[in-house]
A = this chain, B = another copy of it.
Amino acid sequence: MSAPATRIRNFSVTALLGMVAVATTTIARAADPLPSWNHGSARQSIITFVERVTKESSPDFVPVADRIAVFDNDGTLWSEQPMYVQLAFVLDRVRQLAPQHPEWKEKEPFKSVLAGDLKAIAAAGETGLMELLAATHGGMTAEQFDKIVIDWIAAARHPKYARPYTQCVYRPMVELIAFLKANGFKVYIVSGGGVEFMRPWTAAVYGVPPEQVIGSSIKTRYEVGADGRPVIVRLPEIDFIDDKAGKPVAIHKVIGKRPIAAFGNSDGDFEMLEYVTSGPGLRLGVLVHHDDAEREVAYDRKSHIGRLERGLDEAARRSWTLISMKADWKSVFPSPTPDQ
């Protein structure tokens, strides 16, 4: 049995995630493919686009092979507030590993992490973050990291919603992925987050298999142990940052063709939307606008996470669709599950 199947079998929240997946499948087959969406211009622009590219008699028809859609993850498919989920993982890992590293008590940025001083961590800047990433994401095999992620994401809870992070995904967007797939689209995630932090759970949660997940990565090396068993070793060194102009570069590198639809929420997605919507023929660019202070968090121009400024300024001129979470979504998260 290959790794991913093992992953899912060992995944203690499988049942939980399965409920989301099953619900989504049922929804996609029902009369309304987007039941968590209010009727409005955002929903309509998405549906019209899909109709025009899938109808064979349409002048905008696109063959199945070219129906590629790309989605950002943090803030587009799941919550990125009050901090990126992967940062919560990093902080938890530092705390878990601290007993083996007594020197961290006196060494920044570890000292600040152990003290829970988020401001000091932020002040440590990129150098500090790289040190944290190296210590928590490198120095083990790919299989070991896979298990670490699976165990963490099963146990961790969102600080505000008090539910697993995999239940802090946006229900309307999960429906949207299923709707696109039902219409012959191949859906990719193109995230600034670490690719190996996402792959263990995206198939179960979003219906997106590991090979359709693109993200930031660290360098790896192929090694054969003394037992003759080959492993992929994760090195404490950044390979690629999949953000901003890195997104179209990664799309070209991995997919090798220009997608026809792109979904994001911040200026980190600007170039991806620009690249996708500049192609010839009908294209769709969509930004999730976090304007729902009551059900989620309202943030855009001034936010230090997921800042959306240029995207807001240029959306109209570029004919990009803005999703108002407040107006366009009936519900934000999946319904509470029995363990809530």
Given contacts A142-B252, A230-B275, contact A5 B66 (CB under 8 A): yes
Please determine whether B257 and A62 come into contact, CB atoms closer than 8 angstroms: no
Cβ of A209 within 8 Å of any chain B Cβ, yes or no, is yes
Please determine whether B203 and A2 come into contact, CB atoms closer than 8 angstroms: no
Copies of this subunit: 2
Within 8 A of B (CB), among A220-240: 220-222, 224, 228-230, 232, 239
Please determine whether B222 and A66 come into contact, CB atoms closer than 8 angstroms: no
- A271: which B residues are within 8 A, CB to CB? 222, 230
Can you list, as one digit per residue, whether each of A1-39 has a CB less than 8 Å from chain B (1) or not (0)? Answer: 111111000000000000000000000000000000000
Complex CA–CA separation, A222 to B285 (angstroms): 18
Complex CA–CA separation, A279 to B231 (angstroms): 10
Closest B residue to A280 using CB positions = B1
Q: Quick one: which of B220, B248, B255 contacts A252, CB cutoff 8 A? A: B220
Complex CA–CA separation, A65 to B21 (angstroms): 16
What is the minimal beta-carbon distance from A148 to any residue of chain B, in angstroms?
A: 16
State the majority secondary structure of interface residues on A.
mixed
Complex CA–CA separation, A209 to B65 (angstroms): 8
Complex CA–CA separation, A66 to B9 (angstroms): 13
Cβ of A63 within 8 Å of any chain B Cβ, yes or no, is yes
Complex CA–CA separation, A278 to B224 (angstroms): 10
Complex CA–CA separation, A221 to B271 (angstroms): 12
Q: Which of A221, A229, A257, A280 has the most CB of B within 10 A?
A: A257
- A217: which B residues are within 8 A, CB to CB? 253
Please determine whether B5 and A210 come into contact, CB atoms closer than 8 angstroms: no
Within 8 A of B (CB), among A122-166: 142
- A186: which B residues are within 8 A, CB to CB? 211
Complex CA–CA separation, A199 to B66 (angstroms): 14
Given contacts A210-B256, A275-B222, contact A2 B281 (CB under 8 A): yes
Complex CA–CA separation, A274 to B224 (angstroms): 9
Closest B residue to A279 using CB positions = B2
- A221: which B residues are within 8 A, CB to CB? 245, 249
Within 8 A of B (CB), among A239-273: 239, 245-246, 248-249, 252-260, 271
Complex CA–CA separation, A213 to B257 (angstroms): 11
Cβ of A74 within 8 Å of any chain B Cβ, yes or no, is no
Please determine whether A213 and B2 come into contact, CB atoms closer than 8 angstroms: no
Q: A: which residues have CB within 8 A of B? A: 1-6, 62-63, 65-66, 68, 142, 186, 195-196, 199, 203, 209-211, 213, 217, 220-222, 224, 228-230, 232, 239, 245-246, 248-249, 252-260, 271, 274-275, 278-281
A–B Cβ pairs within 8 angstroms, 15 of them: A1-B62, A2-B66, A2-B68, A4-B65, A4-B257, A5-B62, A5-B65, A142-B252, A222-B245, A222-B271, A230-B248, A230-B275, A232-B249, A239-B253, A254-B254
